[in-house]
Amino acid sequence: MSHQSKSSTPRFLTQTAPLSLGTVTGPHEQQAWQLLSLLFDGDDRPSVAREEFDQYRARCRKEKLSEFWKSLVYEDAQRHAKEAQTAEEKAIAFLSCNSVDDACHALLKGLDLRLSTIVAQIGGDEAMRQDMTSQIEEWRRMDVLSEMDEAVRTLYELIAGNCAQSEGKIGGGRENKALTFNICSHFKLDWRRAFGLRLWYGTKADEPIEMAVAQFADALQFGKEDVKPKPWFVEQELDMGWDDPEKDNREDLLWGILKLYASSRLELAANVEDILAPENVSGHPLNARLSFQLFQLFKSRQDDYREDTERIIGMPAVRNARGQPSSLLSSTASTTDRDDQADDPLIELGDKLTITYAASLHTPEHWTTAVWVYAHLSSPAMRSHCIRSLLTQFSNTYSLTDTDPTSKYLSSELLIPHTWMHAAAALQSKTEGDALRQAMHLIKADELEEAHEVLCRSVGPDSVISRDYDALRELMGGFFGTPTNSPTSERGRAGKRHIKEPVPGWNQGGQIYFDYIELIDLTGQCSTYRVDEELNQQIGALLAQLQRALEVVARDRWEGIGLEERAALAEIAGTVANLSSRNKASSRILNLPLTEDLWLKHSCELSTQYYRNVMASGK
């Protein structure tokens, strides 16, 4: 069994499936995935001893890379060969895609038989390279280079394993001067063919891939190679939707992948923050999809302790003395906004790519994908804020029902908490003016204080004024987790109620509506034909409790509540006053928040009662 069957992280080849090769970017993205698979997916071990397989693994991988790289540059090389003016230039063009046979054939047609014979041995062993290097030095000493065509000189340099710079001669008279030139730029090779020369001729057959990468990197660093690995969109001068002030400093993603491969095997400078910067990968700082995908796959393999070391992608990150990322990506973000999570450059990079990619998905078609992307943020607080904001923004596109596919996907696949979804639905209900549904969602979102506020400011007053109590009954059960039509209560021997406050301020808020509904229910059970002492005792207890609560509201809160809530509380107070006065008028009735008519009515009743009491006492 190969190691891939054991690994929990995916093979890179599987990532090429959803690509659309008909787009401009599709083929280039596919090339990146193919290169990653070739370098990091490992090799399926054939039926040979492991020691033997490990001995030739690097060489097998280099041969696969050689075939892949030849397919990348073949069309450009063939086009170059057609445009070449001499047989030697044709040979260089064919060699730039590793077509040695075609190069020899072109030289034969040009009647350069000796050079054709030598080119057939290109990429030979160290002895041959040293012999050719010595021969070139001897030609330079004898002033022969000035008499040689530059294409011929280049072919000999390639045979010697020199793919960077052909050194000329500046002394010894004008007729003996020879030009020094960089091979690839002189013959207008792009960076892919420039690297291919190192892969095929600069390194020996038994040298690993990282040696070719190091050769090209050193040539770039020391100025012996001026064909920079520019991204394909910079080379083709495509409009990627923004004017990049640093486009000359961008590096191709394929070169970045090669550097990551080599940096884990030898000392080669590489910075994953630069390599995965959206400006390098896609050509636009806000197009971070591929950068995000690559980062997450790289990081998942790095964090997987079961992963084979051959499949782990190194993620070097360079920090300057101030602890800031020395990457092109960091120039697009403010360093003053760094928080605790920015201490780790990989966490900072992952969060930047996550936020950038997710922000581009805030559309009715793709917002659920944005939710999934936000789930990769390192900070729980950031994840919560971003996902809940997105749920709120698009809450009108789905419903919280078992049959709604979006709701099922969010809860079952993305494991979004139901409380978050109900909180978003509550805000949507508020915008639609449905206070009852808003309060119900707030209860299911465990936001009882907000639900209580909606109950007191809207649902309760609406129900009392309209005398439609069904909605209020439905809502009341949510605060105590009971579906009954009346508030849950436990009564002591004296008929006193013992209800734990579900939210602060409940006794002067929701409790009033609770008690009022129960009062309506109990008074509806009274009969004119018989007296129910227990029922009357319950009604009396409710009236006393409502009176105390309404007095507190009238004294402490009356000036700060809205008109609709005032009207509802006045309606409740009127009912309490009327029921209280049937048995025995009390001076405390006037402390209730009554309307002016009711206040005058009960004031007159109290005066009359007071006068009768005085007359009866004979005073």
Query: What per-residue confidence (pLDDT) applies to 576?
Result: 78
Query: What per-residue confidence (pLDDT) applies to 22?
Result: 77
Q: What is the pLDDT of residues 543-562, one digit of tens each?
A: 888 888 887 787 777 777 88
Query: What per-residue confidence (pLDDT) applies to 165?
Result: 93
What's the whole-number mean pLDDT along residues 606-610?
52
Q: Residue 398 is which amino acid? A: Y
Quick check: is 407 in a domain?
A: no
Q: Are residues 592 and 574 in the same domain?
A: yes
Tell me the CA distances in angstroms from 302 to 209, 260, 347, 513, one per residue in order.
Answer: 22, 13, 13, 59
Lowest mean pLDDT among 169-183, 505-519, 526-540: 526-540
Lowest mean pLDDT among 126-140, 148-162, 273-287, 570-584: 570-584
Q: Are residues 223 and 254 in the same domain?
A: no
Q: Are residues 223 and 246 in the same domain?
A: no
What's the whole-number mean pLDDT along residues 94-108?
96
Q: Are residues 31 and 170 in the same domain?
A: yes
Q: Are residues 156 and 256 in the same domain?
A: no
Q: Are residues 209 and 111 in the same domain?
A: yes
Q: What is the pLDDT of residues 7-46, one digit of tens each?
A: 455 565 444 345 667 788 899 999 999 999 999 987 655 5
Quick check: is 409 in a domain?
A: no
What's the whole-number mean pLDDT along residues 132-155?
91
Q: Which domain holds residue 158?
A: 23-227
Q: What is the pLDDT of residues 103-141, one digit of tens each?
A: 999 999 999 999 999 999 999 899 999 999 999 999 988
Quick check: is 485 in a domain?
A: yes
Q: Which of 208, 227, 246 corresponds to the end of one domain? A: 227
Residues 6+ apart with CB under 8 A from 569: 461, 512, 550, 553, 561, 593
Provide DSSP, 245-295.
TTGGG---HHHHHHHHHHHTTS-----HHHHT-HHHHTSSTT--HHHHHHH
- Residue of 554 and 618 predicted with greater confidence: 554
Q: Are residues 294 and 221 in the same domain?
A: no
Query: What per-residue confidence (pLDDT) applies to 617?
Result: 60
Cα dihedral 33, 34, 37, 40, rounded to 10, equals -80
Question: Would you say residue 604 has pLDDT above 70?
Answer: no
Q: How confident is the model at residue 51 (pLDDT cuts 50, 70, 90)?
A: low
Query: What per-residue confidence (pLDDT) applies to 65?
Result: 96
Residues 6+ apart with CB under 8 A from 590: 599, 602, 603, 606
Q: Are residues 169 and 298 in the same domain?
A: no
Q: What is the pLDDT of residues 212-262, one digit of tens each?
A: 999 999 999 999 999 999 999 999 999 988 998 998 899 999 999 999 999
Q: Are residues 38 and 84 in the same domain?
A: yes
Q: Which of 227, 262, 289 corresponds to the end of one domain? A: 227
Residues 6+ apart with CB under 8 A from 499: 480, 487, 488, 489, 490, 511, 514
Number of domains making up the chain? 3
